[in-house]
C-alpha cells in the first residue's frame, strides 16, 4: 500500500516522458489523483489512535551499510501525507490547465511539458518518502532528493534571474541537508558502538547518544530543517527563489516542502536527540519568535505579492516551530494542525496570486486594485483564504494558533506574549494584500474578470478544504494527537533516564503539561501522577 502510494508519482512521471505531448497533462492529473486516492485510503483505513505504525514496510536494502527500506505511517504523518498528495494534485491540475511556458528567455527544454510533470512526480515521491521513511538514512536521502526536481523546475520554467536564484536555493538548502547526512551517519555509527550499524529509528532510539554528541548532531539537523522552512537568519535563499519560481510550483515549495522540516523536528530530532532538543529549546524558540516578527514585518512592507505570501510563510513557520519547541502537548498538537492548515492556505494563496497575475499582468501590489467590481466569487474565495491566513476564529488556523500559543504560554511565558503580537501583525499584512488587490479602483488596462473554470477547478476545492478544516478540526486533531504525544514522551522518558525525579522534569521543562482533550498525553504509570489532566 505504501509502496504504491510512494512510487506512483515517480513512475507516472517517467512514463509521461514517453507519452505524446497532448496526453501528458491528463495523464499526470490522473496519476496525482490516484496518489491522493491512495492517501485518503490510508487515512480512512488505518488506525491512528495510538503511536503504532500502520502499513509497515520493512525490507532489507543495503545490509552492509545498515540501511533498511522501511516505511510506515502514523498519526503524526498521515495528515501531512494527505496534504502532500492534495496540494500536488492542485499544482498538477493547475499546470495541466495552464501549460507552463517559462519566462521570456526560456530555454528550449521549457517547451517539453513531460519534463515538467516528471519533475513534479519525482518531487512528490521524494516528499512522500520523507514523511513515510522510518529509517534515518532513507529520510535523509528523500530529504535531499526533494530538492533536485525543484532545481530544474525553477531553473527551467522560472522567470527573471532564475539560474542565480536556483543555484542559491540549492546551495543554501543542500548545505543544511548534507551536513545532516554526516550527522545521520555519525548517529548510526556511534550508536552501534562497534556493533552492527543500523539506521532504523527503533534501533537508534534504543541506543541514544551521549549528550555532547547529541548536541552537535542536533545542531546539524536543526540547521537543515531551519534552512528548509525557512527560518529567519537562514532565509537568504527565499526571496530570490520565490521571485523566480513558477507560481504553481511555489504553492508546493511554500505549502508542502517547508512542512517536511517541521515534521523532521518532531519525528527525528526529538526522538533521537531528546537531551539536545531540551538544551536548544530556548535558542530555537527565539529563532521562531524572530521568524514571526521579521516575517510579519517584511510581509507588511513588501509590494511584490509573492514575497508577501513568502514572508507570511516565514512567520507562519515560525509559529509552527514555536509550537513544536514549546515541548508541550498542546503546542505540538497545534503545530501539527497548523502545518496542515498552512499548507492548504499557502498553496491556495499562490494560486490566487497566479489568478491575479493573469488579470493585472503584474505582481506588484501597488499596481493592483478593484478586482471585486465584476468578480464577486473571486473576491469571496480570496476573502476566505485571507481570513484563514490571519487565523480568524472559526477557521482551523485559529484553533491551531490557539493551541500553539497555549503550549508556548505553558513553557515560556515571555516568548508567548511577544508571539501573540504576531497574530495581530498577520491581520495587518493579510488584509492589506486583500484590500489593495480587490478593493480600490481598477488600474487602467486591467480587467475585472470572474474566476474562469480552469482557475476555479483548483481554487474552489482548496477553499472548500479550508472551510472543511474549520468545521471539523477535532477530527484532524484526533488523528494527530497520538503522534504528537509520542514525540513528547520521547523527551520525557529521556529526562527521567538522567535520574531526575518525574516532578522535577515536569517542573524544569514543563513537559507534563495538562491536556484537556480526550486521548491526549497520559503520563505512564511510573510517573506518580505528575501532570493531572484538568477538566
Partner 1 sequence: MTVDFNAPDIDYAAISPQIALMAGICAVLLVSVLGKATNRNLVTSTSLLGLGSALGLMIWQSDRNTDLVAGALRLDGLAASAAIICIGVAIYAALLGVGEPAFFENGQSRHGEFNALLLTSVLGMVQLASAQNLVALFIALELLSIPLYVMSGFARGRRESLESGLKYLIVGSLGSATVLYGSAFIYGGSGSTDFGAIAAALGDGGLASDPLIGIGIALLTVGLAFKVSIAPFHQWTPDVYQGAPTTVTGFMAVATKVAAFAVFVRLFEVALGPAASNWQPALAALAALSILVGNLGALGQSSLKRLLGWSGVAQGGYMLVGLLVASEVGVNALIFYLAGYALMNLAAFSVIAIRERESNLGDSLSAVEGLGGERPALAWALTISMLALAGLPGTVGFFGKLYLIEAAVDGEYTWLGIVIVIGSMISLGYYLRVIAAIWMRSAPDPASLATSALGPIDGGSPEGEREASGSRLLIVPLALVAAAAVFFGILPDPLVDFAKDAGRDLIATVK
**Chain residues that interact with partner 1, rule: CB under 8 A:** 61-65, 105, 107-109, 111-112, 115, 137, 141-142, 144-145, 148, 151-152, 155-156, 162-163, 166-167, 170-171, 174-175, 178-179, 181-182, 185-186, 188-190, 197
The phi and psi torsions of 339 (rounded to 5 degrees) equal -60, -45
**Residue 14 or 501 having the CB closest to partner 1:** 14
In whole angstroms, what is the distance from residue 132 CA to residue 125 CA?
10
The Cα-based distances of 270 to 81, 84, 101, 226 in angstroms read 20, 23, 43, 15
**Residue 192 or 456 having the CB closest to partner 1:** 192
**Residue 89 or 170 having the CB closest to partner 1:** 170
Cβ atoms within 10 Å, residue 164: 12
In the numeric block, the cell 497520559 is attached to 522
Contacts 24+ apart (CB under 8 A), 104-113: 104/159, 106/156, 106/157, 107/156, 109/156, 110/156, 110/157, 112/21, 113/21, 113/24, 113/25
Say if residue 62 is exposed, middle or buried (CB neighbours under 10 Å; 0-12, 13-18, 19+): exposed
**Residue 167 or 457 having the CB closest to partner 1:** 167
**Residue 189 or 418 having the CB closest to partner 1:** 189
In whole angstroms, what is the distance from residue 280 CA to residue 282 CA?
6
To partner 1, the closest distance from the beta carbon of 170 in angstroms equals 6
To partner 1, the closest distance from the beta carbon of 468 in angstroms equals 36
**Residue 17 or 202 having the CB closest to partner 1:** 17
To partner 1, the closest distance from the beta carbon of 65 in angstroms equals 6
Are the CB atoms for 239 and 307 separated by under 8 Å? yes
Are the CB atoms for 71 and 132 separated by under 8 Å? yes
Are the CB atoms for 341 and 459 separated by under 8 Å? no
In the numeric block, the cell 514496510 is attached to 57
Are the CB atoms for 223 and 178 separated by under 8 Å? no
Are the CB atoms for 499 and 66 separated by under 8 Å? no
In whole angstroms, what is the distance from residue 497 CA to residue 220 CA?
24
To partner 1, the closest distance from the beta carbon of 388 in angstroms equals 35
Cβ atoms within 10 Å, residue 461: 17
To partner 1, the closest distance from the beta carbon of 67 in angstroms equals 8
The phi and psi torsions of 59 (rounded to 5 degrees) equal -120, 150
To partner 1, the closest distance from the beta carbon of 17 in angstroms equals 9
Are the CB atoms for 16 and 120 separated by under 8 Å? no
**Residue 50 or 109 having the CB closest to partner 1:** 109
To partner 1, the closest distance from the beta carbon of 156 in angstroms equals 6
To partner 1, the closest distance from the beta carbon of 162 in angstroms equals 7
C-alpha angle 107-108-114 in degrees, rounded to nearest 5: 110
**Residue 153 or 384 having the CB closest to partner 1:** 153
Are the CB atoms for 115 and 102 separated by under 8 Å? no
**Residue 107 or 529 having the CB closest to partner 1:** 107
To partner 1, the closest distance from the beta carbon of 249 in angstroms equals 15
Amino acid at each position: 500500500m505504501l509502496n504504491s502510494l510512494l512510487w506512483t508519482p515517480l513512475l507516472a512521471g517517467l512514463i509521461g516522458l514517453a507519452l505524446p505531448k497532448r496526453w501528458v497533462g491528463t495523464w499526470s492529473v490522473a496519476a496525482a489523483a490516484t496518489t491522493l486516492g491512495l492517501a485518503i485510503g490510508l487515512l480512512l483505513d488505518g488506525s491512528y489512535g495510538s503511536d503504532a505504525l500502520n502499513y509497515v514496510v520493512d525490507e532489507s536494502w543495503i545490509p552492509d551499510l545498515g540501511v533498511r527500506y522501511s516505511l510506515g505511517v502514523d498519526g503524526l504523518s498521515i495528515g501531512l501525507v494527505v496534504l502532500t498528495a492534495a496540494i500536488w494534485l492542485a499544482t498538477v491540475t493547475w499546470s495541466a490547465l495552464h501549460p507552463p511556458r517559462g519566462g521570456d528567455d526560456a530555454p528550449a527544454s521549457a517547451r517539453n511539458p513531460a519534463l515538467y510533470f516528471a519533475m513534479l512526480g519525482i518531487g512528490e515521491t521524494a516528499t512522500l518518502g520523507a514523511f513515510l521513511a522510518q529509517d534515518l538514512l532513507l529520510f535523509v536521502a528523500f530529504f535531499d532528493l526533494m530538492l533536485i526536481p525543484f532545481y530544474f523546475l525553477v531553473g527551467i520554467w522560472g522567470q527573471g534571474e532564475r539560474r542565480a536564484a536556483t543555484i542559491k536555493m540549492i546551495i543554501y538548502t543542500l548545505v543544511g541537508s548534507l551536513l545532516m547526512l554526516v550527522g545521520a551517519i555519525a548517529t548510526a555509527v556511534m550508536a552501534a558502538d562497534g556493533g552492527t550499524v543500523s539506521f532504523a529509528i527503533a534501533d537508534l532510539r534504543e541506543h541514544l547518544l551521549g549528550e555532547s554528541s547529541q548536541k552537535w548532531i542536533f545542531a546539524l539537523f536543526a540547521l537543515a530543517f531551519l534552512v528548509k522552512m525557512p527560518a529567519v537568519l537562514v532565509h537568504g535563499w527565499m526571496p530570490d527563489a520565490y521571485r523566480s519560481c513558477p507560481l504553481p510550483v511555489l504553492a508546493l515549495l511554500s505549502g508542502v516542502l517547508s512542512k517536511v522540516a517541521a515534521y523532521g523536528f518532531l519525528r527525528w530530532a526529538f526522538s533521537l536527540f531528546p537531551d539536545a532538543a531540551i538544551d536548544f529549546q530556548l535558542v530555537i524558540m527565539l529563532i521562531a519568535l524572530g521568524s514571526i516578527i521579521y516575517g510579519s514585518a517584511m510581509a507588511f512592507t513588501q509590494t511584490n505579492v509573492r514575497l508577501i505570501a513568502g514572508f507570511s510563510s516565514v512567520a507562519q513557520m515560525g509559529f509552527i516551530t514555536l509550537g513544536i519547541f514549546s515541548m508541550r502537548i498542546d503546542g505540538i498538537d497545534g503545530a501539527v494542525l497548523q502545518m496542515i492548515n498552512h499548507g492548504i492556505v499557502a498553496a491556495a494563496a499562490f494560486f490566487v496570486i497566479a489568478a491575479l497575475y493573469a488579470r493585472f499582468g503584474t505582481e506588484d501590489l501597488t499596481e493592483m486594485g478593484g478586482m471585486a467590481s465584476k468578480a464577486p466569487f473571486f473576491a469571496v474565495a480570496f476573502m476566505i483564504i485571507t481570513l484563514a491566513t490571519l487565523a480568524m476564529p472559526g477557521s482551523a488556523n485559529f484553533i491551531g494558533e490557539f493551541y500553539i500559543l497555549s503550549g508556548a504560554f505553558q513553557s515560556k511565558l515571555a516568548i508567548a506574549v511577544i508571539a501573540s503580537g504576531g497574530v495581530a501583525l498577520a491581520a495587518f499584512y493579510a488584509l492589506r494584500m486583500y484590500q489593495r488587490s480587490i478593493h480600490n479602483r481598477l488600474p487602467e488596462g486591467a480587467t475585472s474578470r470572474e474566476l474562469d473554470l480552469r482557475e476555479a477547478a483548483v481554487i474552489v476545492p482548496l477553499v472548500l478544504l479550508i472551510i472543511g478544516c474549520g468545521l471539523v478540526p477535532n477530527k484532524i486533531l484526533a488523528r494527530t494527537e497520538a503522534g504528537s504525544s509520542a514525540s513528547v514522551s520521547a523527551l520525557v522518558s529521556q529526562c527521567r533516564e538522567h535520574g531526575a525525579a518525574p516532578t522535577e522534569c515536569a517542573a524544569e521543562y514543563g513537559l507534563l503539561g495538562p491536556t484537556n482533550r480526550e486521548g491526549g498525553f497520559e503520563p505512564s504509570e511510573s510517573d506518580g501522577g505528575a501532570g493531572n489532566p484538568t477538566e
